[in-house]
Amino acid sequence: MGQDDDLENQLRICTLECSARCCRYVTTSIEPPRATVDWDEIRWWLAHEGAMVTKDEDGWLLHVQTRCRHLLADNTCGIYDTRMMACEAHDAEACEFTGDLDYQVLLRSEADLADHLERRGLKRGAEVAKQIRKTARSRHNRPGGTASPPSE
Ligand code: SF4
Ligand code: SF4
């Protein structure tokens, strides 16, 4: 297969099969959580829709789902020639669609965080896990069983 065919094939995978998932979130590395306040901050992030916290061999990351403003309706990049360094560096052969991402920790919700803290028996996270469980119980017992909508 020639280089043009390779590029065309990659474009098909990115735009049609994957639907450009790497253009639909941002990430930032975070310090490894150690103190109660660090776990509590992770809880705060996870209380927000679209947030996720992971740890892999390179460390801890906060992910937030948010669509890039330069992503076009056909899932191509609207500023390809002047795109950011992070986009250019993204390896399409070992990405979240084509690669085998191996997370040591994957937290998508406060409940995931409480499970993680309890399973690991992390003393500095015990209070945070307790608060998460308490919140879940009180939400469950509330009429309607869900949280109030955000105030206007
Ligand atoms: S680089 Fe990977 S995650 Fe990004 S659009 Fe292509 S296949 Fe999808
Ligand atoms: S600038 Fe282009 S490649 Fe980078 S995230 Fe946005 S749409 Fe994707």
How far is the centre of ligand 1, averaged over its atoms, from the C-alpha of 11 (Å)? 9
- Which residue owns the Cα nearest ligand 2 atom 5? 23
14 within ligand 1 shell (Cβ under 6 A): yes
92 within ligand 1 shell (Cβ under 6 A): yes
Q: What is the pLDDT along the chain (152 residues), one digit of tens a residue?
A: 577 888 899 999 999 999 999 999 999 999 999 999 999 999 999 999 999 999 999 999 999 999 999 999 999 999 999 999 999 999 888 888 887 778 999 999 999 999 999 999 999 999 999 999 999 999 877 776 555 554 43
pTM of the complete model beyond 0.75: yes
133 within ligand 2 shell (Cβ under 6 A): no
How many of the other CB atoms lie within 10 Å of CB of 91?
9
How far is the centre of ligand 1, averaged over its atoms, from the C-alpha of 96 (Å)? 7
